[in-house]
Structure 1
Amino acid sequence: MTRRRLAAGIVAAGMAAAALLTGCGGDDASSGPVTLKVLTWEPGGTEYWKQVKTSFEATHPDIKLDMQSVPFDKYPEVQGPYITSQSGPDVMANNAGLELFDRRGAYEPLGDKAAEINKDLVTYSGACEGFDTAKPCYGVPFSYQGNVLYYNKSILTAAGLDPEKPPATWTEFSAACDAVKKAGKTCLALGLSGTFPAYWDFPEIARSYLSEDDIRGLLAGTLSWKDPKLVAVLGKLAEITTKGWANSNAPSITMLPDGADIFQRGDAAFAGTIISDAVNWEAFGKALGDDKLGVTRWPAADPGAPLAQKFSGIEGAVYGVTKWSEKKQAGLEFITWLAGKENGELWVKHAKGQPLNKNVDKALLPSSPAFQKIQELVAEPTLHAGVMLSGPEADALARGWQQVSLGQLTVDKWAEQMQQALERSPTKKQGN
């Protein structure tokens, strides 16, 4: 089931501010606390969300949280019928960017509340149309997200490589993969089932070819997938599997948990995955040992490209209040609290993730070398190309990479399929 088919419809970008959340009523606490139904895939883990429920309810005795947790890979299947029927949860999560925009018909825009909520956040405006806070915003993020290349120092050492100098260029990465393979290990742990490549690997290669204007062209749908720059990006993605750098079963497994498990078991030298939410530096550090876990940028195809030494940054999951909810004010209170300092500190302590709130006590930040290295990398951010992709494009990117890996598709044909997916995207036709 594709993400486009799950969208319940697109609302006009010029929706009047008077219809926004500001001042909404409808919450009747006369018979006791309001019960707020929240749909989530529990980014950060079950323990973190237990702390969210306990802490929020302690300071908001008039609101009770009824959490419906769904595994991430099943989330669209559960959320889709709610959106179609315009009923169900009062608050729902979606990833920032066009995944959220594809489903914005399910959410109340925040109106002038958006600026108030976001004032203490590091933000890329990934909850706002066009990545522009002057346009409607549909929810609140609280985590900093993006992709890095984790590596196993022990495997690099065994392969005769310097674990303190991981490959920085595509040529160096190719040589490292050859050495790792000779040492009997997989170079890059990878799973291609699902749309994770769109969010993770694609933007890390795209930084060597695209300018920020090009990335915004992806968002607007004005950059053709037949443009030589995008064809080159697809070509580099293809090399990862066609040159045998990844595990041979990559087309048939997911990145989470399957690909990540390969890395955690010590069977692969590298894994490209995220800095927050699901499997991150903490899980890898526990499995391999903090002293054996390294973090770096993805190798640059063109080290001299303007964006090559930057970080593809974006907010993590965005929580918004549903249009059909009769408890909008309670929903607004909850998502506003999610963006606050208290929850930011819970996020650091229990999820070991990267908080967006700028007021989080720095003394609470983990001392892990991997976490500290991530702090260095995120200091040089640029736009995240992955979240500029519409649902049809993300699906075509993932499916095309699988087909290329299996020898069923050429890179040029892949580019044609991507262009066809772009042309099917009503979200981009609306001019985001």
Structure 2
Amino acid sequence: MFRRSLAGALAAGMAAAALLTGCGGGGDDATDGPVTLKVLTWEPGGTEYWKQVKTSFEAGHPNIKLEMQSVPFDKYPEVQGPYITSQSGPDVMANNAGLELFDRRGAYVPLGDKAAEITKDLVTYSGACEGFDTGKTCYGVPFSYQGNVLYYNKAVLTAAGLDPEKPPATWDEFGAACDAVKKAGKTCLALGLSGTFPAYWDFPEIARNYLTEDDIRALLAGKLSWKDPKLVAVLEKLAEITTKGWANKNAPSITMLPDGADIFQRGDAAFAGTIISDAVNWEAFGKALGDDKLGVTRWPAIDPAAPLAQKFSGIEGAVYGVTQWSQKKQAGLEFITWLAGKENGELWVKYGKGQPLNKNVDKALLPSSPAFLKIQELVAQPTLHAGVMLSGPEADALARGWQQVTLGQLTVDKWAEQMQQALERSPTKKQTK
């Protein structure tokens, strides 16, 4: 897992004139010669994609040079936090759509009435807007589509005596498959519980069985208690994955990226729950295992009759926004507007192998991988992504609590209490209530 144009009136709280003059200071935007724009990113889509972004953008914008600062995803908050605290540093920064972005919204210039103009060719961008509502304040525009699927290794299923063309569709079937895979000497579900990955990649797929869309919006607004039976049931099922031995034993001590993903890519696990775009998607797994051995499906349904159980947890990818402190806001607007355009959408497909949001991307460029084509079927029935409704404190408490439950140090009821305390510490949700 932010953008804008060059004209001028942006803003929820900022005058257009101040914006285009670098908040009254003129800044590098007003100088002769190329402007150097500092961009903070974790390089979603990979290094080669971002090299192409830099080359292509600079070729079409000789007045702007990009200086990229790339940070590993799991270290990103540690690097970004001091910039926000000191109100200095990058001119453009990335954050995941949803509450991760909203928690940091004070760092970004709001789009104001420019949002509709910049995003007119995008399928959606509500994940960059407060309340997931494009009629409210928006802090950027994404260019990719993101969400969760369950990848599986057909060779591992076959070796375990399972049908590789019929992956488990229900929770009970998944449990039986895990038992068979374990007997065959492999890990069932490759998993890493350190960091925010459990919140973004696992929690939404369990939550879809218990929450309605209204419940998910209540979660966003901080109006759904973590002691509510629905959310307690979600935590119970997450705990079941590890306490029943369906995952690798070292899950509490590793991150999903790269460690958990590596277990799957090595062929040592039957399943991996990850994402449709960015670094650990169908392309990386297909290269490692072979396209013919890679399968993709929805997570198994706990309650197949639940309203959202057969849906796809979809959300826009990383959002790039112009920082409040930047003295190069006009250049920043040019760059993030370009990111939302057709040219970058096609670079994203070609080099990032991800799902573009720009509707004008040449369909002939889309991959023909069987996994990619299956993903196109799955994304056709989207619902809200519950994971990005979690605030920073909640995402941290979800991962930490799951680690403790797995190690026998915490009960699920105590986990729910910790989650509720995290909710009550969330500045964003306090303001929403």
TM class by shorter chain equals over 0.9
**Secondary structure in 2 matching 1:200:** helix
Distance 2:21 2:132 in 1: 21
Change (3 A) 1:405 1:15: farther
Change (3 A) 1:11 1:255: farther
TM-score calculated relative to the size of structure 1: 0.95
**Maintained 8 Å contact 1:191/1:251:** yes
Change (3 A) 1:15 1:424: farther
Q: Per-residue deviation at 1:29?
A: 5.6
Change (3 A) 1:182 1:8: farther
**Is residue 174 of structure 2 the alignment partner of residue 173 of structure 1?**
yes
Change (3 A) 1:327 1:12: closer
Change (3 A) 1:17 1:202: farther
Change (3 A) 1:19 1:409: farther
Q: Per-residue deviation at 1:358?
A: 1.1
Cα deviation digits, residues 364-423 of structure 1 (max 9, x gap) = 000000000111100100000000001110010000000000001111111111111111
Distance 1:309 1:21 in 2: 47
**Maintained 8 Å contact 2:147/2:276:** yes
**Secondary structure in 2 matching 1:174:** helix
**Maintained 8 Å contact 1:22/1:111:** no
Change (3 A) 1:246 1:218: same
Change (3 A) 1:135 1:21: farther
Distance 2:213 2:285 in 1: 32
Report what 2:323 is aligned to: 322
Change (3 A) 1:13 1:206: farther
**Maintained 8 Å contact 1:129/1:137:** yes
Report what 1:7 is aligned to: 6
Q: Per-residue deviation at 1:139?
A: 1.2
Q: Per-residue deviation at 1:220?
A: 0.3
Q: Per-residue deviation at 1:5?
A: 27
Distance 2:217 2:14 in 1: 23
**Secondary structure in 1 matching 2:267:** coil
Cα deviation digits, residues 54-92 of structure 1 (max 9, x gap) = 000111111111111111111111111111110111000
Cα deviation digits, residues 162-216 of structure 1 (max 9, x gap) = 1111001101000000010111110000000111100110001100110000000
Q: Per-residue deviation at 1:20?
A: 6.3
**Maintained 8 Å contact 2:29/2:331:** no
Distance 1:21 1:262 in 2: 49
Distance 1:115 1:97 in 2: 19
Distance 2:59 2:281 in 1: 29
TM-score calculated relative to the size of structure 2: 0.95
**Secondary structure in 2 matching 1:7:** coil
Change (3 A) 1:17 1:229: farther
Distance 1:138 1:257 in 2: 29
Q: Per-residue deviation at 1:241?
A: 0.1
Distance 1:424 1:130 in 2: 19
**Maintained 8 Å contact 1:20/1:109:** no
**Maintained 8 Å contact 2:8/2:16:** no
The alignment yields a C-alpha RMSD, in angstroms, of 3.7
Q: Per-residue deviation at 1:31?
A: 2.5
Cα deviation digits, residues 273-300 of structure 1 (max 9, x gap) = 0111111111100010000000000001
**Secondary structure in 1 matching 2:234:** helix
Q: What aligned pairs does 1:20-419 form with structure 2 within 5 A after superposition?
A: 26-28=27-29, 30-419=31-420
**Maintained 8 Å contact 1:186/1:245:** yes
Unpaired runs of at least 5, structure 1: none
Q: Per-residue deviation at 1:8?
A: 28
**Maintained 8 Å contact 2:239/2:406:** yes
Cα deviation digits, residues 348-375 of structure 1 (max 9, x gap) = 0001011111111111000000000111
**Maintained 8 Å contact 2:29/2:327:** no
Q: Which moved more, 1:333-342 or 1:66-75?
A: 66-75
**Maintained 8 Å contact 2:9/2:112:** no
Cα deviation digits, residues 21-41 of structure 1 (max 9, x gap) = 799875536431111111111
Change (3 A) 1:10 1:69: farther
**Maintained 8 Å contact 1:10/1:105:** no
Change (3 A) 1:202 1:413: same
Distance 1:131 1:22 in 2: 30
**Maintained 8 Å contact 1:82/1:88:** yes
Change (3 A) 1:227 1:196: same
Question: Moved runs in structure 1, 4+ residues, more than 6 A?
Answer: 4-25
**Maintained 8 Å contact 1:7/1:83:** no
**Secondary structure in 2 matching 1:6:** coil
**Maintained 8 Å contact 1:11/1:104:** no
**Maintained 8 Å contact 1:144/1:315:** yes
Unpaired runs of at least 5, structure 2: none
Distance 2:195 2:6 in 1: 18
**Maintained 8 Å contact 1:313/1:383:** yes
Distance 1:274 1:90 in 2: 28
**Secondary structure in 2 matching 1:430:** helix
Distance 2:160 2:203 in 1: 27
**Secondary structure in 1 matching 2:36:** strand
**Maintained 8 Å contact 1:9/1:103:** no
Distance 1:6 1:176 in 2: 51
Distance 1:278 1:431 in 2: 33
**Maintained 8 Å contact 2:122/2:340:** yes
Change (3 A) 1:284 1:370: same
Distance 1:371 1:60 in 2: 33
Cα deviation digits, residues 279-333 of structure 1 (max 9, x gap) = 1111100010000000000001101111011100001110000001111011001
Aligned-residue sequence identity (percent) comes to 92
Change (3 A) 1:178 1:292: same
Distance 2:229 2:281 in 1: 33
Distance 1:191 1:311 in 2: 22
**Maintained 8 Å contact 2:144/2:356:** yes
